[in-house]
Every structure is written in C-alpha cells, then in structure tokens.
C-alpha cells in the first residue's frame, strides 16, 4: 500500500478537529518512517526483488519493530501521547492569535491514523507482517494482483480527498490545489505500480521513502496555507 495510506489523512481532517493535514500525513506513514530509518541503520531487513509480487518489489522479510501488530499498537499509543503533550503545551495558536481548536479527540484520531497504516498494509502485503516479534506472519497479499491493488489505492485516495473537500471550508483556489495534489499522487502511484525500473538497493529504497514521504508532508503543509489570508479576513 502506498498512496492509499493518505486517504486516511485526508478523511481524518475536519473543520472541527482542525488537525493540520501535514501532521496526519506523518501519522499515516509513521510506521514506514520508523521502518525506513531502521533499514538505513541495518536493524530491519529488506530485499528489493524485481517481480517479487505483481505490484511491489519489496520483500520485507524482517521488520518486527516497525510492522508487527504488537509494535504497531505501541507506536500508535506513543503517537497519541506525543500529540496530547504537544496539544496541551501549545494551547495558543500564535499564527491565528487565538486559542487552538484542537479537540479532545485529537490524540485518539492521531493514534488511529498511525494504526490505520498496519491495517492497510495487511490488505496489500504478502504474508510478511508479524503479529509479534518476527513470528505468526499475516498479509492478504493484494499486491499479487496488480490492477485490483492499484484500483484500491486510487479508490481510497479519491474517497479520502472527497471527504476532505466536503468536510472542510476552504477557498476555491485551495480546493483546486488539493485536487491537483490528488492527481499528482495518482500519477506517482501509476509510476510505482506500472513503470518498470531496476530495483534499487535496500538502503536507497529506504532513503527514497524518507525523501518522497517528506516531500508529500511539505506539500500537505503548504496546501493548507493557500488562500489562508483571504479566509481569515472573511471569517
């Protein structure tokens, strides 16, 4: 699962909770950030094999710290506590000059967004997701079916963006930017699923994950600034 993860980020953001989209973009890929970091450190192991599954070259044969069910729950709880601490320390939004509207449910939403990664990975991955440690591996293996996996990613993404657009008030220019971002993610997914390429090394792949995911986080941050002045004045 790749861009499908971002559907959860788009779907979680509402006018009521006002959780920044970029924060949710980090949350839904939090487990992969840990994974990529541990692969770079040589702690978790990855093989990149052409044709390993129809839709992915990743053979994640050892990732018990980032992608076991037990650690996924632990990381989700950690993320929820971190967000609770951050929210309580910054009750005042200096950019807007008023009290933050972070609702009490923010830590729960962040925690669930982090955990959603494991659930969506469970659908796509071959049986490489351990329940605990490096044992009892599960995975429904949708990656073995290239077109259905691609269709699911895009359907999820489109649904998430549709929810984001209907549940958040924003100027037309930002609406256009969000749709353009969605199209960009769609193209990235086409490239990932269908464009043949020579496999990179494990470390280069992990580095690519860091670079691409962070690029998307920056776009998500920038997009919510578009037309903000006009919106604030109108409010």
| Residues of the shown chain interacting with Zn ion in the complex, contacts defined by CB under 5 A | 32, 121
Residue with smaller CB distance to Zn ion, 119 or 222: 119
Residue with smaller CB distance to Zn ion, 79 or 170: 79
The CB-of-121 to Zn ion minimum distance in angstroms stands at 4
The CB-of-113 to Zn ion minimum distance in angstroms stands at 14
54: nearest Cα among 188, 147, 146, 128: 146
Token representation of residue 209: 């994950």
Give the number of C-alpha atoms closer than 13 A to the C-alpha of residue 60, restricted to the C-beta side.
29
The CB-of-235 to Zn ion minimum distance in angstroms stands at 38
Helices then strands (H, E): number in the chain? Answer: 10, 6
In this structure, are residues 199 and 50 in contact, taking their beta carbons and an 8 Å threshold? yes
Residue with smaller CB distance to Zn ion, 152 or 177: 152
The CB-of-150 to Zn ion minimum distance in angstroms stands at 17
The CB-of-166 to Zn ion minimum distance in angstroms stands at 28
The CB-of-133 to Zn ion minimum distance in angstroms stands at 17
Q: 192 burial class (0-12, 13-18, 19+ CB within 10 angstroms)?
A: middle
The helix (H) or strand (E) run that includes residue 176 is helix 172-194
- Distance, CA of 56 to CA of 3 (rounded, Å): 13
> Which own/partner pairs from 135-141 qualify as long-range (CB within 8 Å, at least 24 positions apart)?
138/69, 141/53
Residue with smaller CB distance to Zn ion, 116 or 168: 116
Residue with smaller CB distance to Zn ion, 128 or 224: 128
Residue with smaller CB distance to Zn ion, 29 or 106: 29
């Amino acid at each position: 699962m790749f861009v499908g993860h971002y559907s959860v980020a788009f779907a979680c953001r509402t006018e009521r909770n006002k959780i920044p989209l970029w924060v949710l973009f980090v949350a839904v890929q939090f487990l992969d950030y840990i994974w990529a970091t541990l692969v770079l450190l040589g702690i978790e192991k990855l093989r990149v094999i052409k044709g390993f599954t129809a839709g992915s070259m990743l053979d994640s044969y050892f990732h018990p710290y980032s992608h076991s069910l037990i650690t996924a729950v632990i990381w989700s709880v950690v993320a929820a506590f971190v967000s609770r601490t951050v929210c309580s320390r910054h009750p005042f939004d200096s950019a807007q000059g008023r009290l933050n509207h972070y609702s009490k449910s923010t830590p729960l939403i962040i925690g669930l967004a982090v955990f959603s990664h494991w659930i969506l990975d469970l659908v796509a991955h071959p049986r490489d997701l351990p329940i605990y440690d490096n044992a009892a591996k599960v995975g429904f293996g949708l990656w073995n079916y290239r077109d259905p996996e691609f269709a699911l990613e895009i359907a999820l993404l489109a649904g998430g963006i549709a929810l984001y657009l209907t549940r958040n008030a924003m100027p037309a220019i930002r609406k256009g930017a969000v749709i353009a971002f969605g199209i960009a993610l769609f193209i990235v997914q086409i490239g990932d699923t269908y464009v043949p390429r020579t496999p990179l090394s494990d470390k280069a792949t992990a580095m690519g994950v860091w670079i691409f995911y962070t690029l998307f986080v920056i776009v998500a941050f920038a997009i919510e600034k578009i037309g903000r002045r006009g919106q604030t004045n109108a409010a």
